[in-house]
Chains A and B, each alone.
Chain A
Amino acid sequence: MLFDTTQLALERAIEGAGTRHEALAANLANANTPGYQRVDVDFHGALASAIGRGEESREALHSLSFAPAQDASAGAVRADGSTVDVDSESARLAANALEHQAAVQVAHARIGILKAAMGTGI
């Protein structure tokens, strides 16, 4: 098989970071919406449980789907009941963008290795 589970996991991590970025952008967009509950995507947990399933991890990674869920653990930070803290949302957004970049770069390097093995150069 040309692409192993690591490559598959990297692809799903890129997709998960993209979905999480959307959720965090929605939180920032609703920074001034009264009573808004922040949403988040736990793609780390979903990926970790899929990878940890041994022989079945390939199928588990294929069938993985990421969806934003309301973050019930976040307490209200504003008098109107909103749970969006602009500072921490911005920090999460920046960290998530870096994670996305890391996954893309590793995936790119692995594709480069495959290309080198095929003799087509990097």
Chain B
Amino acid sequence: MSLFGGLEISASALTAERLRMDVVAENLANAQTTRGADGQPYRRKEVVLQERGGSFGASLSAAMNSSRPPSQGGGVEVAGVVEDQTPLKRVYDPGHPDADADGYVAMPNVDTVTEMVDLIGAQRAYEANVTAMQASKQMFARTLELLR
């Protein structure tokens, strides 16, 4: 399924890039959150992407179940969402309920400029994959024209 494979590959990228946008939105929403789920200040989250079908098990099963050579391009998948372990920002705000004895508050390590740049990157990558998807559809439709 050559051309439907192309659609699936682009669809996997759309899912991955959408998740990146979601995580950026979460980071921006929690840029001032001093009480996360574990009671600690929020830490910036980051999406790690990996090539789909790149693992040893997937390559082995593909090689054993098919006479065709294992496909090297199977799209992309999310390997995980990791927390950014860079130090938290310390802001002097003695009136804050989460301030320590010296009057400093540990604020999330979210930099809004970095997040906006990541957002633009994810958005452009999304658009590029939508274009690839449209090309797949057009190619498939044109091949069908051979029957007319």
Contact = CB atoms under 8 A, between A and B. Distances in A.
Contacts of A104: 142-143, 145-146
A42 to B, nearest CB: 14
Given A32-B49, A97-B138, A19 B10 contact: no
B3 A21 contact: yes
Contact of B139 (A18, A26, A86): A18
B49 A68 contact: no
Contact of A86 (B16, B49, B128): B128
A69 B124 contact: no
A28 B12 CA distance: 11
A67 B62 CA distance: 14
B128 A90 contact: yes
A93 B131 contact: yes
A46 interface: no
Given A21-B136, A30-B49, A32-B121, A101 B142 contact: yes
Contacts of B131: 90, 93
A25 interface: yes
A103 B68 CA distance: 25
A26 B124 contact: no
Contacts of A94: 135
B127 to A, nearest CB: 10
Contacts of B133: 25
Contacts of A65: 68
B76 A25 contact: no
Interface string B1-23: 01101100110110011001000
B99 interface: no
Given A25-B132, A29-B12, A68-B73, A111 B2 contact: no
A39 B73 contact: yes
A50 B146 CA distance: 24
A69 B13 CA distance: 20
Contacts of A100: 139, 142-143
Interface in A1-26: 14-15, 17-19, 21-26
